């Protein structure tokens, strides 16, 4: 066996190529590689550069090192996932006979309950950005559909069907395509924005004054600013999605229907919201209420 193949950082490069061939998102590939390279840098201080020399103790020490340096439990858990995926891959390719990450456990952490905005809060947010037609449309769509910020940023003009008042969320990564209804408040806010939207060959719904796509990080920073203006503390963009799910379940919308609508892979993810709401009996027919 070529000893170069056993070099950790060279193996990381091969792993990145494998992930790319699997069709994984570039952001995912970058995160995985950075996590594993961080482990490689850590063990290199003990003169460990070869895959076969990495042990469970090394990975446990790395995990403890992260905790000592104030990494969040969620971040540490993600890094452990990356490391486990990496070593499973190199073992499957015959580079190592034993996987040192098998016995490594994830850190325990208490899951924070979702931040669910009350009516006063989301109405205050709506008022705060009312004069910003683009952001008003973004807030309304996120709040009234529960779509993810990445899905909103990737939304195309052609994905909107005004005849049926529906929006198509195209398949991406491991998420299948789904069609979601768009209610009157969201439709009206979107129409107001589209009338003043800059003319551009860019098919993205939300664009800048220069015609470039409105990036996720810029959408997030703008929303953070309006949360601050509205006086809503400790709120993030994903809380609009939490609010949509919780309010629809509270109104009696069927659990399975809401789960499919928001694109949850597992029904159990949607079920967790039932712990934080006063659930009403399910309606006979699925219906989305206006928030």
Question: Going by DSSP bridges, is the β-strand pair 166-169/178-181 parallel, antiparallel, or unpaired?
Answer: antiparallel
Residue carrying the six token digits 């529906």: 166
For the stretch 172-199, pLDDT in tens is 877 899 999 999 999 999 999 999 999 9
Cα separation, 211 vs 88, whole angstroms? 44
What's 157's DSSP letter?
G
When pLDDT is cut at 50, 70 and 90, the band that residue 73 belongs to is confident
3-92: CATH architecture = Orthogonal Bundle (1.10)
- Answer whether 190's CB lies under 8 Å from 137's CB: yes
Strands (E), 74-199: 160-161, 166-169, 178-181
**CA-closest candidate to residue 107, choices 85, 88, 89, 81:** 81
When pLDDT is cut at 50, 70 and 90, the band that residue 279 belongs to is low
Q: What is the pLDDT of residue 287?
A: 75
Strands (E), the chain: 160-161, 166-169, 178-181
| Domain limits, the chain | 3-92, 119-276
The answer on pLDDT for 156 being more than 90 is: yes
For the stretch 46-71, pLDDT in tens is 888 888 899 999 999 999 888 888 78
Q: What is the pLDDT of residue 281?
A: 57
Q: b vs e for 215-249, b when ≥16 Cβ sit within 10 Å of the residue's Cβ?
A: ebeebeebbeebbeebebeebebebbbbbbbbbbb
Which residues, listed in sequence order, are joined to residue 212 by a DSSP beta bridge?
none
Q: What is the pLDDT of residue 69?
A: 82
When pLDDT is cut at 50, 70 and 90, the band that residue 282 belongs to is low
Q: What is the pLDDT of residue 173?
A: 74
Fold of the 119-276 domain: hpI Integrase; Chain A (1.10.443)
- The SS3 assignment for 287 reads coil
- Answer whether 268's CB lies under 8 Å from 281's CB: no
pTM greater than the 0.85 cutoff:
no
For the stretch 208-249, pLDDT in tens is 999 999 999 999 999 999 999 999 999 999 999 999 999 999
């Amino acid at each position: 066996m070529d000893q170069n193949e056993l070099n950790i950082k060279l193996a990381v490069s091969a792993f990145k190529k494998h992930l790319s061939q699997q069709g994984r998102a570039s952001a995912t590939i970058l995160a995985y590689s950075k996590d594993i390279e961080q482990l490689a840098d850590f063990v290199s201080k003990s003169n460990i550069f070869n895959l076969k020399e990495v042990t469970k103790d090394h990975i446990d020490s790395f995990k403890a090192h992260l905790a000592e340096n104030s990494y969040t439990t969620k971040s540490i858990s993600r890094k452990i996932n990356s490391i486990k995926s990496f070593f499973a891959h190199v073992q499957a390719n015959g580079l190592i006979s034993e996987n040192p990450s098998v016995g490594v456990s994830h850190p325990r952490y208490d899951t924070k309950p979702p931040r669910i905005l009350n009516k006063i809060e989301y109405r205050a947010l709506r008022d705060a950005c009312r004069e910003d037609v683009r952001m008003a449309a973004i807030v309304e769509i996120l709040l009234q559909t529960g779509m993810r910020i990445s899905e909103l940023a990737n939304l195309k003009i052609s994905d909107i069907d005004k005849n049926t008042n529906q929006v198509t969320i195209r398949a991406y990564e491991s998420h299948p395509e789904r069609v979601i209804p768009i209610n009157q408040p969201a439709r009206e806010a979107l129409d107001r924005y589209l009338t003043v939207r800059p003319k551009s060959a860019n098919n993205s719904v939300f664009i800048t004054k220069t015609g470039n796509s409105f990036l996720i990080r810029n959408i997030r920073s703008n929303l953070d600013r309006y949360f601050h203006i509205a006086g809503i503390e400790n709120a993030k963009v994903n809380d609009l999605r939490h609010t949509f799910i919780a309010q629809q379940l509270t109104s009696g919308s069927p659990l399975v229907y809401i789960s499919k609508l928001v694109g949850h892979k597992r029904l159990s993810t949607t079920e967790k919201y039932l712990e934080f709401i006063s659930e009403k009996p399910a309606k006979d027919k699925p219906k989305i209420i206006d928030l």
